[in-house]
């Protein structure tokens, strides 16, 4: 058991595809229990939670949006609204990146689609280069806590918590993160007045007209989900169709010939996530039959007694985890293990989900292997060490926000209706 | 590799890519179409499509399987990529050969057991959509894992021969 675990961990670190590693651990478990390995196939065929349809549909919508000129319109619209504030463009960057990431699921698409737009604009307005680089890199995963982000949906699937409640729970903690980063941006740029632009009704009108087709989108998605009128998978189908009709048929910013390429790259991401989910259904079932979560709970309870210590331990664990593992694999692998433990310490499962995702969000920025750091370094052609140090202050602020989110459960649970 | 062989593999790659794209477009289109049609029919006529949920479930299964083949072709399966950025090229390639052969073996084992499961479904005459034999719809699982295994073998061969490594090291999502 221990030997096979070490070999598997080694293979994972050497870069073996994670689904293969997880599948092997499940199959090793099955054969120790004399369970037929056919169960592997049965578990994969069980990729059938109706909520899962939301994943390909929202991803498709996000990819179509990022390939159209919607990012430009979104930035113009937000500028017209917020450009008059001190450090207005920085706040705009935070808000637009968060909105965009909610749709595209923090797969690096945000930095590529919006960063290319915002980075030169920030520079032109006289913001210091180091600040811009850190801001864009940190913003790339902001918005994970807002509907309809894929990690939130996936957490709901794995924990069997209502997706609707998770979407509500993410709102205030997500806003807290943006406010804290915005405050820092204003403080850093307090001496610079060149960047403040007067508010103009005319510009707001023009920007609104330009974005007329996209404005209903957040209303459809958020309204549909938060009102509880439609199921999440239904909102996803409507969103996918709406985005397709607007960007391809009406605005014609994406040619029909480009669709197969865009659909392919969106679905490849989805396939990578779903196959991990499929094989991890098997490994989770094995872990539960082997009562591994209970044993872990007993072990941790013997070390830690208070909820506060447990939360600190959990945060430390998640920060390390987030730095090594991508968010999707982390959710499917770790949530089934920590959910019963957190329950044992009286942590609400919805609150746990928000803490989990918020902490994993930091993983994108944690040196040495945070994904956003690499994407930024690659996209803006900066040395990776330079990106590390530029992002560091933002990482510290987000860490502060994650600690607040962890120890203030009411912030997450405020908007969640009592069961 | 001779010129003729290279051409053959290039054509195979193009055809495979086209087939995957075609399947992905059709499946996603079906998912959107049936999803929206179900809502419209239910809200306007008060009667949804009885098979809509089962259709969506199976379409997601197919999407996941075909996309897994496509992801293997493009080397976009999720991995921990920490070491790749630190190792010298020759060691990086060696580890890639090792881990891709491992992934190929795992996929082959899953394909084999999924195939065995199909035999049982045939024997017990399991069905989906009321009358369709389940094994026809479920055959995508062994087929996709077999193809994914094949792609990982090719990928290991490419790393061993030294082509393609520059592309595999790009830290793009």
Of B27 and A322, the one with more pLDDT? B27
Dihedrals phi, psi of A80, to nearest 5 degrees: -60, -35
Contact B68 A108 (CB under 8 A): no
A163 Cα distance to chain centroid = 15
B26 Cβ neighbours under 8 A, 6+ residues apart: none
Contact A324 B63 (CB under 8 A): no
| Model confidence, pTM | 0.88
pLDDT at residue number A179? 95
**Cα distance from B110 to chain A (closest Cα, Å)?**
7
pLDDT at residue number A255? 93
Residue B27 CA to residue B144 CA, distance in Å, equals 15
The shortest CB-CB distance from B173 to any of A37, A260, A371 is to: A371
pLDDT band at A351 (very low <50, low <70, confident <90, very high): very high
Examine the pLDDT at A191 and tell me if it is beyond 50.
yes
Torsion B23-B25-B31-B34 (CA) sign:
negative
The shortest CB-CB distance from A13 to any of B35, B80, B85 is to: B80
C-alpha dihedral over A299, A331, A311, A166, to 10 degrees?
-130
Average per-residue pLDDT in chain A? 87
Residue A147 CA to residue A62 CA, distance in Å, equals 12
pLDDT band at A378 (very low <50, low <70, confident <90, very high): confident
Q: What is the DSSP letter of A219?
A: I
The shortest CB-CB distance from A267 to any of B63, B109, B170 is to: B63
Collapsing DSSP to helix, strand or coil, B128 comes out as strand
pLDDT band at B36 (very low <50, low <70, confident <90, very high): very high
Q: What is the DSSP letter of B46?
A: S
Contact B21 A264 (CB under 8 A): yes
pLDDT tens for A105-138 read 666 778 887 887 888 888 888 889 999 999 999 9
Query: Other CB atoms closer than 10 Å to residue B38's CB: what's the count?
Result: 21
Q: Cβ distance A329 to A276 under 8 Å?
A: yes
- When scoring B24, B58, B166, B168 by the number of chain A Cβ atoms within 10 A, the one with the most, hence best to mutate, is B24
Contact A271 B85 (CB under 8 A): no
Residue A66 CA to residue A107 CA, distance in Å, equals 12
Examine the pLDDT at A194 and tell me if it is beyond 80.
no
Contact B35 A233 (CB under 8 A): yes
pLDDT at residue number A106? 60
Structure tokens that stand for A48 in this block: 């059938």
pLDDT at residue number B1? 63
The shortest CB-CB distance from B113 to any of A38, A261, A377 is to: A38
| Residue of A207, A181, A219 whose CA lies nearest to A95 | A181
C-alpha dihedral over B10, B14, B19, B24, to 10 degrees?
130
Dihedrals phi, psi of A389, to nearest 5 degrees: -75, -35
pLDDT at residue number A260? 94
DSSP A385-399: HHHHHHHHHHHHHHH
pLDDT band at B167 (very low <50, low <70, confident <90, very high): very low
pLDDT at residue number A242? 93
Residue B157 CA to residue A246 CA, distance in Å, equals 44
Q: For B136, what's the count of Cα atoms within 13 Å in the CB-facing half-sphere? A: 7
Contact B80 A41 (CB under 8 A): no
In the stretch 50-89 of chain B, residues with CB closer than 8 A to chain A read 53, 56-61, 63-71, 74, 76-85
Of A317 and B107, the one with more pLDDT? B107
**CB < 8 Å to A383, chain B:** none
pLDDT tens for B106-135 read 999 999 999 999 999 999 888 888 788 889
Average pLDDT for A331-342: 89
Structure tokens that stand for A87 in this block: 């450090």
pLDDT at residue number A197? 74
Q: Which region among A9-23, A200-214, A259-273, B151-165 has the lowest average model confidence (pLDDT)?
A: B151-165
Percent of chain A with pLDDT over 90: 34
Closest alpha carbon within chain A to B60:
A53
Strand partners of residue A387: none
pLDDT tens for A229-281 read 788 888 899 999 999 999 999 999 999 999 999 999 899 988 988 999 889 88
- Report the helix count and the strand count for chain B, using DSSP H and E: 6, 2
**CB < 8 Å to B98, chain A:** 11, 14
Contact A15 B70 (CB under 8 A): no
Residues shown for chain B: 173
Q: For A16, what's the count of Cα atoms within 13 Å in the CB-facing half-sphere? A: 23
| Residue of A77, A74, A134 whose CA lies nearest to A99 | A74
The shortest CB-CB distance from A369 to any of B22, B69, B82 is to: B82
Examine the pLDDT at B90 and tell me if it is beyond 90.
no
Average pLDDT for B26-31: 96
Strands, DSSP E only, in A270-416?
Answer: none
Tell whether B122 is within 8 A of chain A (Cβ): no
Examine the pLDDT at B39 and tell me if it is beyond 50.
yes
- When scoring A18, A272, A277, A369 by the number of chain B Cβ atoms within 10 A, the one with the most, hence best to mutate, is A272
Average pLDDT for A193-206: 80
Examine the pLDDT at A23 and tell me if it is beyond 90.
yes
pLDDT at residue number B82? 65
The shortest CB-CB distance from A15 to any of B64, B79, B141 is to: B79
pLDDT at residue number A393? 95
pLDDT at residue number B173? 39
Structure tokens that stand for A44 in this block: 């994969």
**CB < 8 Å to A271, chain B:** 63-71
The shortest CB-CB distance from B173 to any of A236, A329, A375 is to: A375
- When scoring A23, A45, A46, A108 by the number of chain B Cβ atoms within 10 A, the one with the most, hence best to mutate, is A45
């Amino acid at each position: 058991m221990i030997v096979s675990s070490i070999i598997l961990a080694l293979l994972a670190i050497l870069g073996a595809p994670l689904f293969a590693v997880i599948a092997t651990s499940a199959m090793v478990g099955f054969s120790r229990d004399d369970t037929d390995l056919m169960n592997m196939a049965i578990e994969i065929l069980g990729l059938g939670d109706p909520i899962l349809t939301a994943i390909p549909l929202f991803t498709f919508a996000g990819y179509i949006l990022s390939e159209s000129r919607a990012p430009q319109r979104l930035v113009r619209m937000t500028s017209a609204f917020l450009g008059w504030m001190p450090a207005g463009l920085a706040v705009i960057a935070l808000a637009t990146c968060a909105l965009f990431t909610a749709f595209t699921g923090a797969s690096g698409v945000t930095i590529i689609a919006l960063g290319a737009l915002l980075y030169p604009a920030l520079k032109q307005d006289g913001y210091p280069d180091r600040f811009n680089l850190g801001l864009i890199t940190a913003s790339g995963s902001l918005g994970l806590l807002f509907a309809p982000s894929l990690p939130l949906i996936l957490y709901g699937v794995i924990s069997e918590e209502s997706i609707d409640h998770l979407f509500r729970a993410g709102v205030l903690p997500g806003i807290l993160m943006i406010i804290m980063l915005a405050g820092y941006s204003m403080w850093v740029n307090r001496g610079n007045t060149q960047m403040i632009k007067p508010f103009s009704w005319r510009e707001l009108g023009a920007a609104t007209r330009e974005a007329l087709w996209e404005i209903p989108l957040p209303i459809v998605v958020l309204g549909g989900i938060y009102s509880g009128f439609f199921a999440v998978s239904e909102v996803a189908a409507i969103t996918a169709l709406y985005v397709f009709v607007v960007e391809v048929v009406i605005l014609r910013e994406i040619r029909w010939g480009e669709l197969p390429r865009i659909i392919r790259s969106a679905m490849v991401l989805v396939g990578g996530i779903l196959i991990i989910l499929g094989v991890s259904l098997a490994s989770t079932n094995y872990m539960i039959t082997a009562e591994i979560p209970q044993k872990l709970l007993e072990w941790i309870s013997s070390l830690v007694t208070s909820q506060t210590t447990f939360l600190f331990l959990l945060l430390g664990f998640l920060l390390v985890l987030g730095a090594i593992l991508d968010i999707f694999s982390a959710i499917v692998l770790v949530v089934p293990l920590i959910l019963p433990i957190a329950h044992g310490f009286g942590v609400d499962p919805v609150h746990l989900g928000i803490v989990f995702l918020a902490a994993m969000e930091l993983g994108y920025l944690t040196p040495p292997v945070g994904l956003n750091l690499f994407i930024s370094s690659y996209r803006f052609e900066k040395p990776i060490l330079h990106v590390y140090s530029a992002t560091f202050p933002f990482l510290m602020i987000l860490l502060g926000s994650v600690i607040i989110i962890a120890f203030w459960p009411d912030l997450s649970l405020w908007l969640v209706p009592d069961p | 590799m001779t010129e003729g062989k290279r051409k053959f593999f290039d054509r195979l790659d193009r055809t495979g890519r086209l087939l995957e794209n075609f399947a992905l477009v059709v499946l996603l289109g079906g998912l959107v179409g049936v999803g929206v049609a179900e809502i419209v029919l239910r809200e306007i006529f008060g009667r949804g499509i009885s098979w809509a949920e089962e259709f969506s479930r199976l379409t997601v299964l197919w999407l996941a399987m075909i996309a897994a083949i496509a992801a293997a072709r493009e080397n976009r399966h999720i991995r921990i990529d920490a070491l790749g950025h630190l190792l010298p090229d020759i060691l990086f390639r060696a580890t890639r050969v090792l881990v891709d052969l491992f992934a190929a073996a795992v996929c082959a084992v899953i394909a084999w057991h999924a195939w065995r499961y199909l035999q049982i479904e045939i024997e017990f005459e399991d069905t989906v959509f009321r009358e369709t034999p389940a094994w026809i719809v479920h055959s995508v699982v062994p087929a996709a894992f077999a193809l994914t295994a094949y792609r990982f073998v090719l990928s290991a061969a490419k790393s061993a021969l030294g082509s393609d490594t520059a592309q595999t090291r790009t830290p793009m999502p």
